Structure 1
Amino acid sequence: MASKNAQGTPGWLGAVNDRTAMTLLLDHGVLTRNRIGELSGLSKPTAAQIVSRLEEAGLIYEATQISGGRGPNAAAYSVHTDRAIGVAVDITATAINATVADVSGAEHPVVTLSVPRSGGERSALGDIRSAIDAACAVAGFEPSAVRSVLIGVQGAVDPRTDELSFAESLPGWPRRGLRAHLEEHLGLTVGIDNDANLAAIAERTRGAGVDSPGFALLWMGNGLGVSIDQNGALLRGAAGGAGEIGYLPVPVTAAAIDPAANDLQDLMGGPAVSRLLRTHGVQGRTLGDRLDRLVTATSAVRSAVFAELAPRIAHGALPVLAVLDPGTIVLGGPIGTAGGSQLAELVRTHIRRSSRWSPDVVATTVGAHPVLRGAHDALVADVRTSLLDDITALSA
């Protein structure tokens, strides 16, 4: 028997119209029936029928009354944002950050949870459940509305084997079958991605990569990595490990900078930058503490630090330039953020003077929590699709 929603049937047409109206409400916010008709090209009676169906299904509600001059006010409608939500999670070595992503794309508070000191007290399921509950509580949503979660980790997950690798800061987390394990026990759609990749999504949607044909985000924190954006698509590699440049050997040309450095992580990763900061009198308990103090240090100290740091970063960028030749390199992560435009300009100058490449080098403009922001922006699209799928199911 043919489905009543086969293409061209009334059921199929109704589902298409309903999805169109819902998409308009998601994109434009509060709309009247007449405005939905104008934007969609549908007749006023058809738009009214659509609104009635969506309201009866609990997907939209009358948000306000809009005066149209003469005659009665027109009812205006908005989408119920609590019908489908996602939770973005950023797992670091010292904290779990989380925030809700709803269909409106609105920003919700970020909640930060401390991780247990002992790895024996942790589990992937416990970490993510705690993050979901805390993010929903602070944003005023019910955890039962969560349909998906997207997790940023300092590592990579092989999409072929569901195996976690390059991750030293996740004690108690299984290395095999991680995504399947979480989906089975949470009953949610689970995505896991490298932190640099999620930060690159944020750079594309709200940072230095907006309107760019492509860029390389050089992520510099305690760890080191690069994410490649090509016209909005990320290059993740067959095993999910593309961009782990910290494991590359130090080139001969950089040996004079730090003779003890064996790989790029030794040359420009967190421990190396911490030592450099201490050399210039910038103290602190952690790399983050030192970078915070660098931001407020005198211009002389900042200039001295950046003068030594820039050639290290330039050497780290050269393999990326040689293989992919991106037009723009974005300096991100805690180190790129602290360095800002001053460090970016020095890196750009050093690359152009010491190599054949001449990319634009800029500092990240995303701001706080770039990994979380990228996961949030990716989830907004996912939960919107989920809500639109509800409309199709109503007509099935």
Structure 2
Amino acid sequence: MKNAQGTPGWLGAVNDRTAFSLLLEHGVLTRNRIGELSGLSKPTAAQIVTRLEEAGLIYEAAQISGGRGPNAAGYAAHTDRVLGVAVDVTPTAIHATVADARGTEYPVVTLPVVTLPVAQHPATRPAPGRSALSDIRAAIDAASLAAGTSPEAVQRLHIAVPGAVDPRSDELSFANKLPGWPRRGLRAHLEDGLARTVEIDNDANLAAIAERTRGAGIDSPGFALLWMGSGLGVSIDQGGSLIRGASGGAGEIGYLPVPRSAAELDPVAEDLQDLMGGTAVSRLLRSHGVQGRTLDDRLERFAEAPAAARSAALAELAPRIALGALPVLAVLDPGTIVLGGPIGAAGGRALADLVRTHIRRSSRWAPDVVATTVGAHPALRGAHDALVTDVRTSLLENITALSA
């Protein structure tokens, strides 16, 4: 039976959770410091530490000198008892990293999506004959190996996919480049096969979470992340909450037909994906002398291209992006548009400035337009940050008063 609110057991549980949260936030703390930060008395703080240590939730991590007198024991939270793995599944690779309740930044592993000989080690590459289960198992094993943690400690997964999962039907849609992944019952399929809690979200939505927690969206009242890579999409953040839509498909603007005015920019483009998606941008870069086998290759070489070529390419790309942003502005009128994804990151501030100018010249809206500041692996970083919250919540929910 749960402790009733206001009873000694309930109050003890609240105090235990408060102390554990302080240890997650601040790291190693003494009993006295826990009391100072929580406002609890020294005897109460000492009782809490004893309960948490006996429960195996914290451990003595250091001896801390306080000047005169004996050293004080410093305690830290066990963060390896419940772990998560964040996974970003792209058309060309799988990226993964471990997440714990402290938000530790563990190494990111990258698994190329190729058919490999059976002799290859399964902990470092997806298994031959791709499937959702083999992809994610490989990600768990590789991320755990890189972090020096145990795969058995992984209880939760947060997976970024280039598509949308309908929360009502568990159906994957808008995902055309995930061979071996079921389109129906995806989350249930993974949870049953992996025996772990699984969350699946659109890559642009998770990139927006990273933008909110560590990028251009910090302290913003709200923003629209325009995700531009091989695919195209928008994620809308309103005060830290994302708009996903009834079927999880909000923001799939790549399927919108282009307006008549787009004919001046690209006479054969039929939808926004044709106008400003990965294939269109790759072709545009090539026309300005930026070589490469893939879009990623060309974006990487774009930074080394002559200044005149870079300027010309951005000048041609900016009005396309401005045109693609207008539906978002018309419906939601965000104060800030963040240019994200590989294309937004490569264009940087110069592209953002050009897009802002085109929007203000061609429409009645005047949003700020900025480039992403998250850095590498934005969708994975967002999945990681979401997992940190989930793992921490899971640990705190398991803390109960250990004495009446």
TM surpasses 0.5:
yes
Q: Which residue of 2 aligns with 1:20?
A: 18
Tell me how far 1:116 sits from its aligned partner: 3.0
Q: d(CA) in 1 for partners of 2:14 and 2:378?
A: 35
Cross-structure match for 2:123 = none
Distance 2:78 2:311 in 1: 51
Find the aligned partners of 1:116 and 1:394 in 2 and give their Cα distance.
Answer: 51
Deviations 1:40-98 (A, max 9, x none): 11111111111011111111111111111111111111111101111000000011000
How far is the alpha carbon of 1:117 from its aligned partner?
4.1
CA distance in 1, matches of 2:9, 2:2: 6
Measure, in 2, the Cα distance between the counterparts of 1:395 and 1:301: 70
Contact 1:222–1:270 under 8 Å retained in 2 = yes
Distance 1:349 1:202 in 2: 26
Partner of residue 310 from structure 1, selected from 318, 321, 324: 318
Mapped contact 1:15–1:395 kept (Cα < 8 A): no
Structure-2 residue corresponding to 1:154: 162
| Matched residue, 1:366 | 374
Q: Name the residue aligned to 2:253.
A: 245
2:219 equivalent in structure 1: 211
Gaps of 5+ in 1: none
SS in 1 for 2:177: coil
SS in structure 1 opposite 2:155? Answer: strand
Between 62-71 and 83-92, report the one with greater CA deviation. Answer: 62-71
Inter-partner Cα distance in structure 1 for 2:375 and 2:318: 21
Q: What is the letter of the counterpart of residue 85 of structure 2? A: V
Where 2:398 maps in the other structure, the secondary structure is helix
Q: Counterpart of 1:229?
A: 237
Aligned positions of 1:318-357 closer than 5 A: 318-357=326-365
Report the counterpart of residue 106 of structure 2 in structure 1.
108
8 Å Cα contact 1:120/1:171 also seen in 2: no
Q: Paired residue for 1:76?
A: 74
Aligned-residue identity in percent: 79
- Gap change, CA 1:274 and 1:387, over 3 Å in 2: same
Counterpart Cα distance in 2 of 1:120 and 1:32? 51
* Residue in structure 2 matched with residue 61 of structure 1 by the alignment: 59
More displaced stretch, 112-121 vs 315-324: 112-121
* Structure 1 position 392, deviation (Å): 2.5
Deviation larger for 68-77 or 358-367: 68-77
Matches within 5 A, 1:270-281: 270-281=278-289
Report deviation, 1:393.
8.1
> What does residue 164 of structure 1 align with?
172
| In 1: Cα distance, 2:50 partner to 2:233 partner | 51
Deviation at 1:182, TM superposition (A): 0.7
Deviation at residue 6 of structure 1 after TM alignment: 1.8
Give the equivalent residue in structure 2 for 1:125: 133
SS in 1 for 2:193: helix
* Aligned-partner residue type, residue 105 of structure 2: E
Q: Secondary structure at the match of 2:235?
A: strand
CA distance in 2, matches of 1:357, 1:343: 18
- Supply the distance in 2 between the matched residues of 1:4 and 1:308 (Cα, whole angstroms): 63
> Counterpart in 1 of 2:295?
287
Residue 399 of structure 2 corresponds to 391
Query: Residues 89 and 241 of structure 1: is their aligned pair in 2 closer, same or farther, counting only changes over 3 Å?
Result: same
Report the secondary structure of 2:36's partner residue.
helix
The aligned counterpart of 2:91 is 93
Contact 1:125/1:182, CA 8 A, preserved across alignment: yes
Aligned to 2:308: 300
d(CA) in 2 for partners of 1:39, 1:120: 52
Q: Distance in 2 between matches of 1:56 and 1:40?
A: 20
Distance 1:12 1:360 in 2: 48
Q: CA deviation at 1:8?
A: 2.1
Q: CA deviation at 1:9?
A: 2.1
Task: Output the CA distance in 2 between the equivalents of 1:106 and 1:138.
Answer: 13
Partner Cα separation in structure 2 for residue 139 and residue 267 of structure 1? 41
Of 160, 166, 178, 2:186 maps to 178
Tell me the CA shift for residue 152 of structure 1.
0.2
Instruction: Report the residue type matching 2:96 in the other structure.
Output: A
Q: Distance in 2 between matches of 1:390 and 1:146?
A: 16
Assess if the C-alpha contact under 8 Å between 2:16 and 2:401 holds in 1.
Answer: no
> Is the partner of 1:234 in helix, strand or coil?
strand
User: Partners of 1:222 and 1:125 in 2: how far apart?
Assistant: 24
AA aligned opposite 2:73: A
Counterpart position of 1:40: 38
Deviates further, 62-71 or 357-366 = 62-71
- Look up the SS of the partner of 1:78 in the other structure: strand
Question: Does the Cα contact within 8 Å between 1:120 and 1:172 map onto a contact in 2?
Answer: no
Aligned Cα RMSD in Å? 1.4
Q: Which moved more, 1:51-60 or 1:149-158?
A: 51-60
SS of the equivalent of 1:121 reads coil
**Pair 1:189 & 2:187 matched:** no
Residue in 2 aligned with 1:10?
8
In the aligned structure 2, how far is the partner of 1:4 from the partner of 1:226?
43
Q: CA deviation at 1:169?
A: 1.1
1:185 is paired with a residue of what secondary structure? Answer: helix
Within the alignment, does 1:263 sit opposite 2:261 as a pair? no
Q: Per-residue displacement from partner, 1:228-270 (whole Å, max 9, x unpaired)?
A: 0000000000000000000000011111110100000000000
Alignment match, 1:145: 153
CA 1:356–1:395 in 2, change beyond 3 Å: closer, same or farther? farther
